[in-house]
Chain A
């Protein structure tokens, strides 16, 4: 019995030896932890800016001295490979990319070099595919000078800002994995465009990516229907004019359905959106409580606002860009896969007819302890 216990003990001991991670064991102090990468192209040269986090022990060793949260390293080269190798040469420890939280590509680099950069990222298993890829119109030198609130790392601040905007239903989520899939299927897609506004990081809009090149940017002011169509749990606030007063409502998208139809060689879509419109507050003091006629009037006015917004978004996509970044092709492909394969969607999409149908459920009863009516 005792012999058996001794054997078990040695077996556990041997197993424990292998639990250290063998050759893959790495001390965090021996690595350069990267939290943000900015890729740029300027004057026919490629540039990389990487944010290297200062790890806690290094900060403690410095005592009371003011040690920054991170430092930025900049390298350039005639090719992407050369620029990347120059980054490695400048760092004193091996680079660790699994911690990257923000990947930014400037608009000018995205215009011609997005495809190669995405292929590079895809081939590198160090990057997490959950990452959110961002474009920017701002100069990288300006971005790296940002001093985020709460003394955070710049890479974390970009990521947190975008993720909280997505969680609040005000932005769409495009991960690196989505980009890889679109890269291979050659489908157009949108990338969030971020930048600085009065030293704060904000979402500026969406870059339209077609044939793996950046074709332009849709400003955030025009992006509400995009978020309704491609986002999760979207909602926006609207001020609805009513006679000479205004009503502020919060519009939450409850259901969306895009139904394609293909008949006699013609493509049409019927979009159906069910909204819940919650009256937040209004200044129609003389109409208490909210009567049926006022409710109908608010609904009609709100419907008109939605119709105009969606129409503008679709016209922008069909007529200005002539690119299906709104996902109509995906809907059509699901219902008519054989027909889709036999057609040139890029040519068919701008010609397709799109109609909209909105249903609005207006309510004032969503507040916890406040009755606006």
Chain B
């Protein structure tokens, strides 16, 4: 089997970021936003999107400064071999844990909304070989897949959520903004952070000269688009389900979609089932791929196929264990915000600062 080269175009970066960020997080974002900021749930989303849009440009700038190399390689150049490898180990553990969490979420989602009687281990095991195959193929294949599926996904999602807005109740979403709630909006950004984690996937994608500075613009636009898209999801879901009711549903977005009446589709949620779920699988594949990429770099002597299979087995075993721990989601929710900020914000920012200082020092002497 031929392994595709790890390069992606700027438009592929745009769609990859949109799909990776939105497909999983969007499911429970209306609940999280309504709980933490009420009707103004869209405000912390926009604030957080601007924050992450800034930091995604730091990652793309770093990648552009070290063309043809992923973070694993250039971090060793910037901070030395030992620290560089330590950073890679951190990313490997981080992506691995995110993968387990997302698998737990996906399995619970399928169980609670669609496959009520199917045991969770069955839905979990069905997905693993698919993720293994995608991870083995490399980033280029999934990036091309996203370029195609993302257009359908975005169009279908816009159609669904705009239809929801037309059927929603006005007083459930207005007032959209309350000056007296600004402290609450700011405090709520902490709960929204998880929805923007995913920009760190760019750390293992090497940029070529073709990407150039436009890559930063693409990534910036993608994260802002995600923010606007999230705001639409939250507002439309609250308008349909009500701000109090929505807080009781973990996968509030699909619950809200089920309520919508449409003359063209008797079961409106089937539209999500087909296009949304394919996006969801794609989003999960990217995280799986991220884990595989870092593992391959850390263990260069081991064949890629062996690595993806080992990851698959470990993910299956640990996801089954995690599903048995009642407090798993709560503990993970607490920790992931800090780990995510380290992965997406702190490490890239530090590397960028050190790289900049060094290049200036070189120029001075």
Decide whether A and B are members of one complex: yes
Q: Which residue of B lies closest to A175 (CB)?
A: B259
- Chain B residues, Cβ within 8 Å of A333: 171
Docked CA distance A181–B172 (Å): 10
Q: Are B242 and A181 in contact (CB under 8 A)?
A: yes
Q: Are A23 and B117 in contact (CB under 8 A)?
A: yes
Docked CA distance A260–B156 (Å): 38
- Chain A residues, Cβ within 8 Å of B261: 130
Among B99-107, B118-126, B315-323, the stretch in contact with A: B118-126
Known: A184-B242, A334-B174. A18 touches B259 (CB 8 A): no
- Chain B residues, Cβ within 8 Å of A338: 178, 180
Docked CA distance A185–B169 (Å): 14
Q: Are B171 and A334 in contact (CB under 8 A)?
A: yes
Report if B244 contacts A (CB, 8 A). Answer: yes
Q: Are A181 and B244 in contact (CB under 8 A)?
A: yes
Q: Which residue of A lies closest to B242 (CB)?
A: A181
Q: A175-197, CB under 8 A of B: which get 1 and which 0?
A: 10110110011000000000000
Q: Which residue of A lies closest to B247 (CB)?
A: A184
Report if B151 contacts A (CB, 8 A). Answer: no
Q: B111-138, CB under 8 A of A: which get 1 and which 0?
A: 0101111110011001000000000000
Q: Are B258 and A128 in contact (CB under 8 A)?
A: yes
Docked CA distance A337–B173 (Å): 12
Distance in Å: Cβ of B81 to nearest Cβ of chain A: 41
Q: Are B242 and A23 in contact (CB under 8 A)?
A: no
Q: Are B245 and A180 in contact (CB under 8 A)?
A: yes
Of the candidates B170, B175, B241, B258, which one forms a contact with A181 in the assembled complex, judged by CB atoms under 8 Å apart?
A: B241
Q: B240-275, CB under 8 A of A: which get 1 and which 0?
A: 111011001000000100110100000000000000
Of the candidates A21, A177, A327, A334, which one forms a contact with B175 in the assembled complex, judged by CB atoms under 8 Å apart?
A: A334
Q: Which residue of A lies closest to B244 (CB)?
A: A184
Of the candidates A125, A181, A331, A335, which one forms a contact with B245 in the assembled complex, judged by CB atoms under 8 Å apart?
A: A181
Q: Which residue of A lies closest to B255 (CB)?
A: A129
Known: A181-B245, A184-B242. A23 touches B122 (CB 8 A): yes
Docked CA distance A310–B57 (Å): 59
- Chain B residues, Cβ within 8 Å of A175: 259
Q: Are B245 and A184 in contact (CB under 8 A)?
A: yes
Docked CA distance A157–B241 (Å): 27
Docked CA distance A23–B111 (Å): 11
Distance in Å: Cβ of A199 to nearest Cβ of chain B: 30
Docked CA distance A175–B241 (Å): 11
Which of B154-207 touch A at CB < 8 Å?
169-172, 174-175, 178, 180
Known: A23-B122, A330-B171, A338-B178. A177 touches B115 (CB 8 A): no
Docked CA distance A130–B266 (Å): 12
Report if A286 contacts B (CB, 8 A). Answer: no
Distance in Å: Cβ of B171 to nearest Cβ of chain A: 4
Q: A1-28, CB under 8 A of B: which get 1 and which 0?
A: 0000000000000000010011110000
Q: Are A337 and B178 in contact (CB under 8 A)?
A: yes
Q: Are A177 and B241 in contact (CB under 8 A)?
A: yes
Known: A180-B245, A181-B241, A338-B178. A18 touches B126 (CB 8 A): yes
Q: Are B115 and A23 in contact (CB under 8 A)?
A: yes
- Chain B residues, Cβ within 8 Å of A22: 115, 118, 122-123
Q: Are B178 and A185 in contact (CB under 8 A)?
A: no
Interface residues of B (CB under 8 A from A): 112, 114-119, 122-123, 126, 169-172, 174-175, 178, 180, 240-242, 244-245, 248, 255, 258-259, 261
Interface residues of A (CB under 8 A from B): 18, 21-24, 122, 125, 128-130, 175, 177-178, 180-181, 184-185, 327, 330-331, 333-335, 337-338
7 further A-B contacts with Cβ under 8 Å, apart from A181-B242, A334-B175, are A22-B123, A23-B117, A175-B259, A177-B245, A178-B242, A185-B244, A338-B180
Please provide the 5 A-B residue pairs with the shortest distance between their CB atoms, ordered closest to farther: A181-B242, A330-B171, A184-B244, A23-B118, A334-B174
A-B residue pairs in contact (CB < 8 Å), sample of 11: A22-B115, A22-B122, A125-B116, A177-B245, A177-B259, A184-B244, A185-B242, A185-B244, A334-B170, A334-B171, A338-B180
